[in-house]
């Protein structure tokens, strides 16, 4: 993917750039808002990563300008400001996602992947599968091989979310947002407890483990 990073802090910018390049993306870095706006308008990027506090032109205005010019490139805001208001303000300005500094690179990477694939997920799928696991969304049935697996509604939703994003990491905060519709930061690792219960039903009785823990990021079901 071709990704533009607009970040004035040298250390953070280089860290993101290096991480993206290691994951095989082509990444450009701009250190000011104006520079970033010109780069975003003249080149075709798949995702924009924009710091909210930028010299010259702030991140919010930058995205507003892009959206006014009918540029729909998905944008993720990075911010050191915490709070609901900033989040909502960012999304209203035309941002697609929002990440509070300091963040783990795994979280950013997972969100970039989720954003870039978003348009392709439009196709209506009725059956999701991975390896020998099958999920029938219409009959609400989950099977592994020949065995039926009984899941509680929330466990079903959790598994569905992981299966839909097969091959990509889903972070704990992403799962909280998607499955429970909650965007807050719990101190206890609540999602982990649900994953371990789900594993007890989906993975434990079988030979191969499908739900993988990605260190420092979240969970993934491989394709």
Partner 1 sequence: MTHWREILRTTPMRLTLRLVVLFVAASLGAFAVTWWLANEALLDATETVLEQQIDELSAADEPQAIGQAVKAAVKRSDSDHLLLRYDGPDGTVGNYLGRLPPGKFRQSDLEDEQHDVDGHYILLGKNVAGGTLTVGQDAEALTELRDVFIQVLTFTLLPTALLVLTGGVFIALRSARRAAAIEDTLARLTAGDLAARLPVLTGPPDDLTRVGSAIDRLAAAQEASVAALRQVSADIAHDLKTPIQRLAVLLSEARDKAPHLEVLDRASAEIDGIVATFQSLLRIAQIEGGSPRSRFAPVDLGSLAETMVELYEAAAEETGHNLHLTLTDPATIKGDRMLLGQLLANLIENALRHTSSGAITVFVENASLIVADKGPGIPKEERQAVLRRLYRLDRSRSTPGNGLGLSLVDAIVKLHDGSLVLSDNDPGLRVTVRFAEFTEM
Of 11, 42, 102, 138, the one binding partner 1 by CB under 8 A: 102
Instruction: For residue 143, list its beta bridge partners.
Output: 134, 148
Closest CA to 157 of 183, 175, 130, 134: 175
Q: Is 150 one of the binding residues for partner 1 (CB under 8 A)? A: no
Which tokens in the block code for residue 22?
A: 């290691």
Mark the segment that binds partner 1 (CB under 8 A) among 39-47, 83-91, 109-117, 124-132.
83-91
Residue 106, burial from CB neighbour count under 10 angstroms (0-12, 13-18, 19+): middle
Note whether 69 binds partner 1 by CB under 8 A: no
Q: Which of 189, 205, 209, 222 binds partner 1 (CB under 8 A)?
A: 189
Q: What tokens does 27 get?
A: 């990444």
Give the torsion sign (CA, 12, 98, 113, 156): positive
148 SS3 class: strand
Residue 181 as a binder of partner 1 (CB under 8 A): the answer is yes
When asked if residue 92 is in the footprint of partner 1 (CB under 8 A), the reply is no
126 interacts with partner 1 by CB under 8 A:
no
Q: Which residues contact 70 (CB under 8 A, 6 or more apart)?
A: none
Phi, psi for 220 (deg, rounded to 5): -150, 145
Show Cβ contacts of residue 75 under 8 Å, excluding neighbours closer than 6 positions.
47, 48, 49, 50, 63, 66, 94, 95, 96, 97
Report if residue 185 touches partner 1, rule: CB under 8 A.
yes
Interface with partner 1 by CB under 8 A: which range of 18-26, 29-37, 140-148, 184-192? Answer: 184-192
Indicate which single residue of 65, 71, 196, 213 sits in contact with partner 1 (rule: CB under 8 A).
Answer: 196
Judged by CB under 8 A, which of 183, 204, 205, 209 binds partner 1?
A: 183
Report in angstroms how near the CB of residue 170 gets to partner 1 at its nearest. Answer: 16
Contact between 12 and partner 1 by CB under 8 A: the answer reads no
For partner 1, the binding residues (CB under 8 A) are: 81-85, 88, 100, 102, 154, 176, 180-190, 192-194, 196-197
């Amino acid at each position: 993917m071709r990704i533009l990073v607009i970040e004035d802090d040298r250390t953070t910018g280089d860290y993101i750039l290096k991480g993206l390049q290691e994951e095989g993306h082509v990444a450009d870095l701009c250190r000011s808002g104006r520079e970033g706006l010109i780069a975003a308008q003249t080149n075709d990027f798949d995702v924009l990563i924009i710091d909210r506090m930028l010299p010259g032109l702030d991140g919010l205005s930058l995205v507003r300008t892009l959206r006014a010019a009918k540029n729909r490139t998905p944008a993720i805001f990075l911010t050191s400001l915490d709070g609901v208001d900033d989040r909502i303000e960012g999304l209203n300005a035309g941002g697609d996602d929002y990440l509070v500094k300091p963040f783990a690179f795994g979280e950013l990477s997972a969100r970039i992947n989720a954003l870039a694939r978003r348009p392709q997920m439009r196709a209506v799928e009725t059956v999701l599968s991975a390896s020998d696991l099958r999920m029938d969304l219409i009959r609400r049935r989950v099977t592994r091989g020949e065995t039926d697996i009984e899941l509680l509604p929330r466990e079903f939703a959790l598994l569905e979310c992981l299966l839909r994003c097969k091959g990509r990491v889903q972070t704990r905060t992403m799962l909280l947002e998607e499955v429970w519709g909650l965007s807050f930061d719990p101190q206890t690792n609540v999602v982990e407890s649900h994953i371990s219960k789900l594993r007890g039903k989906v993975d434990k009785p079988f030979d191969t483990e499908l739900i993988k823990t990605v260190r420092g990021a979240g969970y993934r079901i491989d394709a």
